[in-house]
């Protein structure tokens, strides 16, 4: 592969080879659902909930329509309402804040750590008020937040912890799986997540039986019996066809996460002499699943343009911290409020990452980045 050959195309994500490894199981499972017609909350959906709860080392799981709904229904199950505050990191995907807004509560933003890009536990105290009901850490890119410190602060004040684990299926903190680290954990199965459906999907995981029963009602019109409605619920269920896909994929998830880790290590090895590129650091007490592999560079917007010219698909996760988003301008934050997040948002560059990447693709992407940085 020549570095001036503009026919090179390294996609940011390519799941076509991954599909081949699950194709037979997916197609036969889908055919069975199509023949039975059990599209809504069929047995396959219930089976997947049990499998995913077990995978997370938790007692219960409830499949829902999306990761956003998982977060929203988790907060709703805790009766979060107008006048309450929910603390979230400002450096995340906007859904983390939207689900808070849906409840009528106020998202309160907190800055992140320079080394993990996750919410900074040292900055939590100053954000906590009498109205704080929930702290919602996001395990950004697939590396768990500092759950030990976050849980200690929350517990001392009777605040609940809801994990936004939308990017972290399978990672662990001090030997415990994401999904069992908070009071409630929420996952997305958006297709590009490390466990992705063939459409939208999400799941709420918990060890709390009350939360479990409430979310089960909330996702299904608030009903207990067929026409016995206990609360004003929603229509937010995980389709049986998506559960078939997810069950087939879940069996391979640990292997695929391992492949992602190998790719990340190879990238870091190839880029280790380039001082101007900062590679991700995995904290000693956690594992990472590299749903996103983001490095940091200066003049990022110019670098991404040149990477595209060389045929390497790159993205930015995320260019604008939530406190500076137009959608949240009513919250009254301003530039300079969260300096670490603002700096990181200007520097991050997500490189191609998917389990079935080839070594040569990693080599080409790294070499391209090196050349751009050194000229």
Ligand X SMILES: *Cc1c(COP(=O)(O)O)cnc(C)c1O
> Applying CB under 6 A, which part among 21-29, 30-38, 91-99, 259-267 lies near ligand X?
91-99
User: Does residue 253 sit in helix, strand or coil?
Assistant: helix
Sign (positive/negative) of CA torsion 266, 270, 272, 277? negative
Q: By CB under 6 A, is residue 202 in contact with ligand X?
A: yes
Q: Of residues 18, 90, 92, 132, which one binds ligand X by CB under 6 A? A: 92
- The answer to whether the beta carbons of residues 67 and 188 sit under 8 Å apart is yes
Q: How far is the CB of 218 from ligand X (least distance, A)?
A: 16
Q: Which is nearer to ligand X, 33 or 186 (CB)?
A: 186
Q: Which is nearer to ligand X, 188 or 216 (CB)?
A: 188
Q: How far is the CB of 147 from ligand X (least distance, A)?
A: 16
Q: By CB under 6 A, is residue 96 in contact with ligand X?
A: yes
Q: Which two tokens stand for residue 204?
A: 């709420």
Q: By CB under 6 A, is residue 77 in contact with ligand X?
A: no
Q: By CB under 6 A, is residue 239 in contact with ligand X?
A: no
Q: By CB under 6 A, is residue 185 in contact with ligand X?
A: no
316 exposure class (CB count in 10 Å sphere: 0-12, 13-18, 19+): middle
Residue by residue, DSSP assigns 310-327 as TTB--B-S-SS-GGGSGG
Q: Which is nearer to ligand X, 66 or 366 (CB)?
A: 66
Q: Of residues 41, 61, 68, 206, which one binds ligand X by CB under 6 A? A: 68
Separation of alpha carbons 161 and 277, rounded Å = 34
Q: Which two tokens stand for residue 227?
A: 């026409």
> Applying CB under 6 A, which part among 34-42, 163-171, 319-327, 363-371 lies near ligand X?
163-171
Q: By CB under 6 A, is residue 143 in contact with ligand X?
A: no
Please enumerate, as own/partner, the contacts of 98-105 that have beta carbons within 8 Å and a separation of 24 or more: 98/68, 98/72, 99/68, 99/69, 99/71, 99/72, 99/74, 99/75, 100/75, 100/136, 102/72, 102/75, 103/72, 103/75, 103/76, 105/75, 105/80, 105/81, 105/133
Q: By CB under 6 A, is residue 93 in contact with ligand X?
A: yes
Q: Which is nearer to ligand X, 99 or 211 (CB)?
A: 99
Q: Of residues 90, 118, 167, 194, which one binds ligand X by CB under 6 A? A: 167
Q: By CB under 6 A, is residue 66 in contact with ligand X?
A: yes
Q: Which is nearer to ligand X, 295 or 322 (CB)?
A: 322
> Applying CB under 6 A, which part among 31-39, 93-101, 213-221, 227-235 lies near ligand X?
93-101
Q: By CB under 6 A, is residue 190 in contact with ligand X?
A: yes
CA distances in angstroms from 200 to 100, 103, 203, 241, listed in the order given: 20, 21, 11, 11
| Residue matched to tokens 């207990």 | 224
Q: Which is nearer to ligand X, 66 or 240 (CB)?
A: 66
For the chain, the helix, strand and coil percentages under 3-state DSSP, each to the nearest 5:
40, 15, 40
Q: Of residues 138, 248, 297, 362, which one binds ligand X by CB under 6 A? A: 138
Q: What separation, in Å, do the N-terminal and C-terminal C-alpha atoms of the chain show?
A: 20
User: Does residue 179 sit in helix, strand or coil?
Assistant: coil
- The answer to whether the beta carbons of residues 272 and 254 sit under 8 Å apart is no
Q: Which is nearer to ligand X, 190 or 212 (CB)?
A: 190
Q: Which is nearer to ligand X, 29 or 67 (CB)?
A: 67
**Binding residues vs ligand X (CB under 6 A):** 66-68, 92-93, 95-96, 138, 164, 166-167, 188, 190, 200, 202
């Amino acid at each position: 592969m020549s570095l001036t050959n503009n026919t090179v195309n390294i996609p940011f994500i390519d799941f076509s080879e991954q599909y081949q490894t699950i194709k037979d199981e997916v197609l036969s499972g889908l055919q069975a659902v199509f023949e039975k017609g059990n599209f809504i909350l069929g047995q396959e959906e219930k089976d997947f909930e049990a499998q995913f709860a077990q995978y997370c080392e938790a007692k219960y799981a409830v499949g829902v329509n999306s990761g956003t709904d998982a977060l929203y229904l988790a907060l709703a199950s805790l009766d979060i309402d107008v006048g309450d505050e929910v603390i979230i990191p400002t450096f995340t995907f906007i859904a983390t804040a939207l689900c808070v807004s849906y409840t009528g509560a106020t998202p309160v933003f907190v800055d992140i750590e320079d080394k993990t890009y996750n919410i900074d536990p040292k900055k939590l105290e100053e954000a906590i008020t009498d109205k704080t009901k929930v702290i919602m850490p996001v395990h950004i890119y697939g590396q768990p937040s500092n759950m030990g410190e976050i849980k200690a602060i929350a517990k001392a004040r009777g605040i609940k912890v809801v994990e936004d684990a939308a990017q972290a299926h399978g990672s662990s903190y001090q030997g415990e799986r994401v999904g069992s680290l908070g009071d409630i954990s929420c996952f997305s199965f958006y297709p590009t997540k490390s466990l992705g459906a063939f459409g939208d999907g999400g799941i709420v995981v918990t060890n709390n039986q009350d939360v479990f029963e409430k979310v089960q009602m909330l996702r299904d019109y608030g009903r207990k019996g067929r026409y016995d409605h206990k609360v004003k619920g929603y229509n937010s269920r995980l389709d049986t066809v998506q559960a078939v896909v997810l069950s087939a994929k879940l069996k391979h998830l640990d292997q695929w996460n391992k492949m992602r880790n190998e790719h990340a290590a190879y990238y870091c090895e190839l880029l280790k002499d380039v001082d101007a590129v900062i590679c991700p650091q995995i904290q000693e007490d956690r594992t990472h699943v590299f749903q996103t592999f983001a490095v940091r560079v200066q003049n990022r917007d110019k670098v991404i343009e040149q990477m595209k010219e060389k045929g390497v698909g790159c993205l930015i996760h995320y260019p604008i911290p939530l406190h500076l988003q137009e959608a949240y301008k009513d919250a009254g934050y301003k530039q300079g409020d969260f300096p670490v997040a603002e700096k990181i948002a200007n520097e991050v560059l997500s490189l191609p990452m998917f389990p079935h990447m080839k070594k040569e693709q990693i080599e080409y992407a790294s070499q391209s980045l090196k050349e751009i940085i050194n000229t």
